[in-house]
């Protein structure tokens, strides 16, 4: 893929970011955010989880492609009220900060209902909601992933703290360009995602064909004697 470039670039001053367009700024997350925090696991063990109630998000629900809610759990409104400080609202950026999934992130959709999170998910709430789409995409980029790798405590992927997250730097163009970046990536990644989905469908069809071929051969549905003659020759 070939896309147009900006006319002039400058050194960002950040090793893992490299050059950025001359008119862009570099901002730390702490200066863009009104909240950088996480939740906790409710007291009471498995008994606090209910069949219906307030969505309670774990790191296993947070993916770069968005929230996955197949195995989501729920807490009561009473438990949610006791954890009001960690409530999640639409346009929050969720970032996994511990374990093997560290660095995965997504933006809470605008139509998402009330939710809460545990201590393995950081909630980043930007001061300006209009910056959320572009900054949300930035969290999925290599420069942010590299900063996360650099900032982790120890070599065993132990986790990120809120100070480290606040110190992360993101390239920030003027707002119209932020909007354009988000729109561009929404459109282009949708095309790529569609191709990935089609390839996965084809792979599944080929797997089914392979299984059917094996089953037919070993149950005598295919006369394979000519292959025996070829082997003998």
Give the tokens for residue 233.
């020759």
CA dist 84 → 37, 38, 101, 125 (Å): 12, 11, 25, 15
Over range 21-25, report the average pLDDT.
96
pLDDT (tens digit per residue) in 106-130: 999 999 988 999 999 999 999 999 9
What gap in Å lies between CA 145 and CA 147, rounded to an integer? 5
**pLDDT exceeds 60 at position 157:** no
Kindly report the average pLDDT of the chain as a whole number: 91
Q: What is the arithmetic mean of pLDDT over 189-211? A: 97
Residues 196-205: tens digit of each pLDDT: 999 999 999 9
Query: What CA–CA distance (Å, rounded) separates 92 from 68?
Result: 16
**Tens-digit pLDDT profile for residues 57-109:** 999 999 999 999 999 999 999 999 999 999 999 999 999 999 899 999 999 99
Q: Encode pLDDT of 220-233 as tens digits.
A: 999 998 887 655 55
Cα-to-chain-centroid distance, residue 40: 20
Is residue 193 very low, low, confident or very high in pLDDT (cuts 50, 70, 90)? very high
Confidence of residue 24 (pLDDT cuts 50, 70, 90): very high
pLDDT of residue 231: 57
Q: What is the pTM of this model?
A: 0.87
What residues contact residue 92 under an 8 Å CB cut-off, 6+ apart?
Answer: 107, 108, 123, 124, 125
pLDDT category of residue 1 using cuts at 50, 70 and 90: low
Q: Rounded distance, CA 44 to CA 209, Å?
A: 49
Query: What mean pLDDT is predicted for residues 158-187?
Result: 94
Amino acid 153: pLDDT:
53
Question: Which pLDDT belongs to residue 225?
Answer: 86
Assign domain 24-172 one CATH number from 1.20.58.220, 3.40.309.10, 1.10.520.10, 3.90.220.20: 3.90.220.20
Domain residue ranges of the chain, discontinuous segments joined by +:
24-172, 188-232
CA quadruple 11, 12, 15, 19: dihedral positive or negative? Answer: negative
Backbone angles phi, psi at 64, to 5 degrees: -60, -25
Rounded percentage of the chain residues whose pLDDT exceeds 70:
94
pLDDT at residue number 150: 80
Six token digits for residue 220: 């005598």
DSSP element (H, E) containing 96: strand 93-96
Beta bridge partners of 49: 75
pLDDT given for residue 63 in this prediction: 97
The SS3 call for residue 119 is coil
pLDDT for res 48 = 84
* The pair of three-digit structure tokens given for residue 23, joined into one six-digit string: 């008119």
- Pairing, β 73-75 against β 54-57: antiparallel
**Cα four-point dihedral sign 177, 179, 181, 187:** negative
Identify which of 35, 34, 37 has the alpha carbon closest to the alpha carbon of residue 119.
37
């Amino acid at each position: 893929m070939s896309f147009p470039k900006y006319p002039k670039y400058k050194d960002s001053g950040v090793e893992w970011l490299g050059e950025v367009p001359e008119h862009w700024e570099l901002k730390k997350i702490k200066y863009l955010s009104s909240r950088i925090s996480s939740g906790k696991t409710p007291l009471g063990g498995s008994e606090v989880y209910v069949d219906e109630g307030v969505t309670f998000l774990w790191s296993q629900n947070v993916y770069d492609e968005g929230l996955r809610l197949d195995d989501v759990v729920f807490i009561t409104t009473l438990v949610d009220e006791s954890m009001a400080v960690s409530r999640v609202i639409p346009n929050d950026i969720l970032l996994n900060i511990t374990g093997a999934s560290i660095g995965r992130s997504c933006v809470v959709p605008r139509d998402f209902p009330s939710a809460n999170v545990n201590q393995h998910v950081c909630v980043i709430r930007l001061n300006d909601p209009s910056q959320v789409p572009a900054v949300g995409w930035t969290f999925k980029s290599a420069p942010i992933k590299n900063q996360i790798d650099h900032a982790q405590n120890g070599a065993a992927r132990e986790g990120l703290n809120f100070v480290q997250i606040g110190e992360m730097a993101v390239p920030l163009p003027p707002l119209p360009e932020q909007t354009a970046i988000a729109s561009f990536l929404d459109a282009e990644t949708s095309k790529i995602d569609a191709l990935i989905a089609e390839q996965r469908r084809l792979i599944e069809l080929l797997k089914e064909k392979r299984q059917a071929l094996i089953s037919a051969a070993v149950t005598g549905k295919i006369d394979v004697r000519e292959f025996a003659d070829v082997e003998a020759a």
